[in-house]
């Protein structure tokens, strides 16, 4: 089972599709995880970023944000707590590539897991060449 790290831009697409691009690819990714054809991971930072994206970006009420969070917990994705290794690697990537520590955290986790990061944010995260960064638009829809 191939592992992938996903960032918050992907998780948002699973929980609120309004004004989102590449929803079909994100749904396919989730479907593949539900079939246990792939495994999905994200750092716990995604929970906070998701809450902010739903509240501020999608203009949802706090109760709807909480509902989104509970839906996230039911999805086939492992939410991994921070570790010293993730923090150190994220800080290093942030410094070396002039990234936010937030973006660098997903890259650091993908580096530690030795797997690709799937995102819609390749403009920033794609500059780190030692990590495979896949744009969600490139996730295959083949057997949907």
Class of domain 2-138: alpha beta
Q: Which residue has the tokens 């780190």?
A: 128
Q: Could you tell me the two tokens for 106?
A: 């997903």
| DSSP summary character for residue 127 | T
Using CA of residue 17, residue 23, residue 24, residue 29, what is the dihedral sign? negative
What is the per-residue pLDDT for 143?
Answer: 52
Rounded CA separation 127/144 (Å) = 31
Q: Residue 89 in contact with residue 111, Cβ under 8 Å?
A: yes
Residue 63 sits at φ, ψ, to 5 deg, of -65, -35
Q: Give the DSSP per-residue string, 62-80.
A: HHHHHHHHHHHHHSSEEEE
What is the per-residue pLDDT for 144?
Answer: 46
Q: Could you tell me the two tokens for 50?
A: 């998701």
Rounded CA separation 7/63 (Å) = 23
Give the pLDDT confidence of 83-108 residue by residue, as tens digits.
999 999 999 999 999 999 999 999 99
Q: What is the pLDDT along the chain (144 residues), one digit of tens a residue?
A: 899 999 999 999 999 999 999 999 999 999 999 999 999 999 999 999 999 999 999 999 999 999 999 999 999 999 999 999 999 999 999 999 999 999 999 999 999 999 999 999 888 787 888 899 999 999 998 754
What's the distance, Cα to Cα, between the start and end of the chain in Å?
Answer: 19
């Amino acid at each position: 089972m191939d592992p992938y790290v996903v960032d918050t831009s992907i998780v948002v697409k699973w929980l609120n599709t309004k004004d989102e691009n590449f929803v079909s690819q994100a749904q396919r990714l989730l479907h593949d995880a539900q079939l246990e054809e792939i495994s999905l991971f994200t750092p716990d930072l995604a929970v906070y970023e998701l809450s902010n994206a739903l509240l501020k970006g999608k203009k949802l009420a706090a109760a709807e944000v909480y509902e989104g969070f509970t839906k996230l917990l039911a999805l086939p994705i492992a939410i991994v707590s921070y570790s010293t290794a993730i923090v150190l690697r994220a800080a290093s990537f942030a410094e070396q590539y002039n990234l936010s520590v937030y973006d660098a955290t997903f890259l650091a986790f993908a580096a530690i897991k030795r797997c690709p990061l799937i995102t819609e944010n390749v403009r920033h995260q794609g500059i780190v060449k030692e990590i495979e960064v896949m744009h969600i638009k490139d996730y295959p829809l083949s057997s949907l």
